[in-house]
Structure 1
Amino acid sequence: MTPEERIEQLEAKIQQAYQVIGTLLSGPDGDSPDFGLPEGLRALDYFAHEDYDEGFLPFVHPRVAGKE
């Protein structure tokens, strides 16, 4: 596998992660409030771009963040 092919695979994997995160945030009925909370939007925004952020973690689940 060439480095270019590996990069393509990793980019595709990040796109899959974005879709999975969106699905999980939206909940089983597709109407979960987690999807629109700042923490949920932050996760989607992070995986929508190629930039790496060393400070992204720890990620606090939106329902937990609202109780702090």
Structure 2
Amino acid sequence: MTPNERIEQLEAKVQQAYQVIGRLLSGPDGECPDFDLPEGQRALDYFAHEDYDDDFLPFVHPRRAGK
């Protein structure tokens, strides 16, 4: 697999994650209020863009905990 093919796979995987997060936030009937909460929109916005944010998660990442 070439590096470009790997990047394409990873981008597709992030797109799938975005769809899964949206589905989970909307609930089984599509009416769950979590979808419209600021936290839900923040998660969707994060996975809709390519930027990486070390501080996205609300807790310290294990690799950064010892620093």
TM-score, length of structure 1 as denominator length: 0.84
Identity %: 85
The equivalent of 2:34 in structure 1 is: 34
Instruction: Please say if 1:48 is aligned against 2:19.
Output: no
Distance in 2, matches of 1:35 and 1:57, equals: 18
Residues in 2 aligned to 1:17 and 1:2: alpha-carbon distance in whole angstroms: 23
Distance 2:42 2:52 in 1: 13
CA-CA distance at 1:58 after TM superposition: 2.0
Q: Residue 29 of structure 1 aligns to a residue in which SS? A: coil
Unpaired runs of 5+ residues, structure 2, are 60-67
- Which runs of at least 4 in structure 1 moved beyond 6 Å after TM superposition? none
Secondary structure at the aligned position of 2:51 is classed as coil
Count of residues paired in the alignment: 59
Q: Which of these two proteins has the greater Rg computed from alpha carbons? A: 2
Whole-Å separation in 2 of the counterparts to 1:58 and 1:13: 22
Distance 1:33 1:6 in 2: 36
The letter of the residue matching 2:56 is F
Query: In angstroms, what is the RMSD of aligned CA positions?
Result: 1.0
